[in-house]
Amino acid sequence: MNTFIIVDDDISVRSVITRIIEQYNLGFVVAEAENGITGEQLIIKNRPDIVIVDLLLPLQDGITIVSKLKALNMNTVFIMISQVTSKDMVEKAYESGIEFFINKPINIIEVVNVIKKVKEYITLRKTFETIENTASLMRHPRINITNNIDTIKKTLQQIFIDLGILGELGGKDIVNLCMIITEDKNMKDNIESMQINDMLKIISQNYNKDGSISNLDIKTIEMRIRRTISKAMKNIASMGIEDYSNEKFILYSSSLFDYSEIKNEMDFIRGKNKTAGKVNLKTFIKRLIVLTEYND
């Protein structure tokens, strides 16, 4: 069960949110705070899975709390609640590191749905952390795997639609690579030790019926894949610029990509950065396979 801390100067709001969490069996509240200083101290002490924090608080505002605690590399996920509707302020809140923004007055259905999305995000994040720390792709006990190839292909298609890269030539290369790795258990289990060039050779061998490998083919495939992933990053970054609360932006910016690179891409599009976000081909492929095989 996920642990929560609620930081809000209104005791009635804290009470309502606590009842919602308990009534819908979403986790349990380990602490509450009525001001920003106490809230920060309790969060550091208890390190909860999820913090629900008000934007405007006595002594220290919610954005300051989130910014300071994110700098400590805590795994806590932050949900901000507020009556403030200013687009600039909401954008600033997302830039500080929150995952979702809930408008006051509190709506039960919205709170339940947002918390469920956050819980799903936490599960996905733990899955990706497992991948980074082990040599196996799919040993996490909290995920379900589907062996239905058609289902995986349909999921890939939907993800590519979301990313705005359906029909890209490099997208076809990515699908082929994902399917090859998915169908080969040994390859999937050892993906951590594979270099991107090894992956590209696999596609090239698959394309060449006689099994020969052309360096030109490999380089061409890499350029197509890199161009496609870069386009996906640009599309996701653009979604974030338009609306930080966009569900596709929230999901893909921190799952398929590293959020720091998405932020760099957003600043590049805005003209604040001279360099765009960087794509990591191996990480993208690896996480994409997990995303296609992850089910609630």
pTM of the model as a whole: 0.64
Q: Which residues pair with 101 in a beta bridge?
A: 80
Q: Which domain holds residue 92?
A: 3-133
Q: What are 130-169's pLDDT values in tens digits?
A: 555 543 434 444 444 445 677 888 888 899 999 999 888 8
Average pLDDT over residues 14-24: 95
Please tell me the distance from the alpha carbon of residue 10 to that of residue 52, in angstroms, as a whole number: 13
Domain count along the chain: 2
- List the structure tokens of 180: 């090859």
Note whether 127 and 230 are same-domain residues.
Answer: no
Q: What are 182-233's pLDDT values in tens digits?
A: 888 777 777 777 888 888 887 777 776 555 555 557 888 889 999 999 999 9
DSSP letters, 30-90, are EEEESSHHHHHHHHHHH--SEEEEESS-SSS-HHHHHHHHHTTT---EEEEEES---HHHH
Q: Which of 172, 245, 253, 157 is nearest to 206 (CA)?
A: 172
Burial of 70 from C-beta contacts in 10 A (0-12 / 13-18 / 19+):
middle
Q: Which residues pair with 5 in a beta bridge?
A: 31, 51
Note whether 80 and 168 are same-domain residues.
Answer: no
Q: Are strands 28-33 and 50-54 parallel, antiparallel or unpaired?
A: unpaired
Residue 278 pLDDT more than 50? yes
Domain's final residue, options 133, 168, 183: 133
The rounded mean pLDDT for the chain is 84
- List the structure tokens of 37: 């200083």
Give how far Cα 7 sits from Cα of 59, 76, 234, Å. 12, 14, 35
Note whether 37 and 115 are same-domain residues.
Answer: yes
Domain's final residue, options 74, 105, 133: 133
The phi-psi region of residue 214 (left if phi > 0; otherwise alpha if psi is between -120 and 50; otherwise beta) is: beta
Residue 29 pLDDT more than 90? yes
Encode 115-126: b = buried (16+ Cβ within 10 Å), e = exposed. Answer: bebbbebbebee
Q: Answer yes or no: are the C-beta atoms of 43 and 5 closer than 8 Å.
A: yes
Q: Is residue 213 part of a domain?
A: yes
* CATH number reported for the structural domain that contains residue 93 in this entry: 3.40.50.2300
Q: Is residue 140 part of a domain?
A: no
Query: 267 in helix, strand or coil?
Result: helix
